Amino acid sequence: MNSDVLRWLQAQLGPGIDAEDLATRYERLRSAKAVALEVLHERVAALVAEPLKVTVNGVATIDNSANVAALERQLAQLNAASAPDEAPADPSDLLTAIPMRTRPRR
**pLDDT tens track for 56-92:** 998 999 898 999 999 999 999 998 888 888 876 556 6
Per-residue confidence (pLDDT) for residue 99, from 0 to 100? 80
User: Which residue would you say has higher pLDDT here, 87 or 46?
Assistant: 46
Q: For the chain, give the secondary structure using H, E and C.
A: CCHHHHHHHHHHHCCCCCHHHHHHHHHHHCCHHHHHHHHHHHHHHHHHHCCCEEEECCCEEEECHHHHHHHHHHHHHHHHCCCCCCCCCCHHHCCCCCCCCCCCCC
CA 43 to CA 45: how far, in whole Å? 5
